Homo-oligomer: A and B are copies of this chain.
Amino acid sequence: MAGKKVAAGIDIGGTNSVFGLVDREGNILVGGSVKTAQYPVAEKFTEVIFNEVMKALGSAGREYELAGFGIGAPMGNINRGTIEYPAGLPWKGITPLADFFRKHTSLPVIVTNDANAAAVGEMIYGAARGMKDFVVLTLGTGLGSGFVVNGRLVYGNDGFAGELGHTTIKPGYSERECGCGKTGCMETYVSATGLKRTLLKVMANSLQPSKLRKYSFEELDAKVIYEAALEGDPLAIKAFEYTGMMLGIKLADVVAHTSPEAIFLFGGLANAKEFIFEPVRKYMEENLLSIYRGKVKILPSGLEEKNAAVLGASSLVWSELENK
- List A residues at the B interface (Cβ < 8 Å): 75, 84-85, 131-134, 147, 149-150, 152, 154-164, 166-171, 173, 180-182, 249, 252-254, 256-261, 287, 289-292, 295
Q: Which of B150, B180, B256 contacts A167 (CB 8 A)?
A: B256
Q: Is the CB of A154 within 8 A of B149?
A: yes
Q: How far is the CB of A145 from chain B (nearest CB, A)?
A: 9
C-alpha gap A232/B244 in the complex (Å): 46
Query: Given the complex, which residues of B lie within 8 Å of A171, measured CB to CB?
Result: 169-170, 249, 287
Question: Would you list the 9 A-B pairs with minimal beta carbon distance, nearest first?
Answer: A156-B259, A161-B259, A157-B261, A163-B256, A166-B289, A133-B157, A158-B259, A167-B253, A171-B249
Q: How far is the CB of A120 from chain B (nearest CB, A)?
A: 15
Q: Which of B132, B163, B252 contacts A168 (CB 8 A)?
A: B252
Q: Is the CB of A164 within 8 A of B295?
A: no
Q: How far is the CB of A246 from chain B (nearest CB, A)?
A: 9
Q: Which of B158, B258, B289 contacts A182 (CB 8 A)?
A: B289
Q: Is the CB of A258 within 8 A of B156?
A: yes
C-alpha gap A160/B293 in the complex (Å): 12
Q: How far is the CB of A102 from chain B (nearest CB, A)?
A: 23
Query: Given the complex, which residues of B lie within 8 Å of A290, measured CB to CB?
Result: 85, 180-181
Q: How far is the CB of A86 from chain B (nearest CB, A)?
A: 11
Query: Given the complex, which residues of B lie within 8 Å of A134, measured CB to CB?
Result: 157
Q: How far is the CB of A249 from chain B (nearest CB, A)?
A: 5
Q: Is the CB of B257 within 8 A of A287?
A: no
Given contacts A257-B254, A257-B258, A291-B85, are A150 and B152 in contact (CB under 8 A)? yes
Q: How far is the CB of A183 from chain B (nearest CB, A)?
A: 11
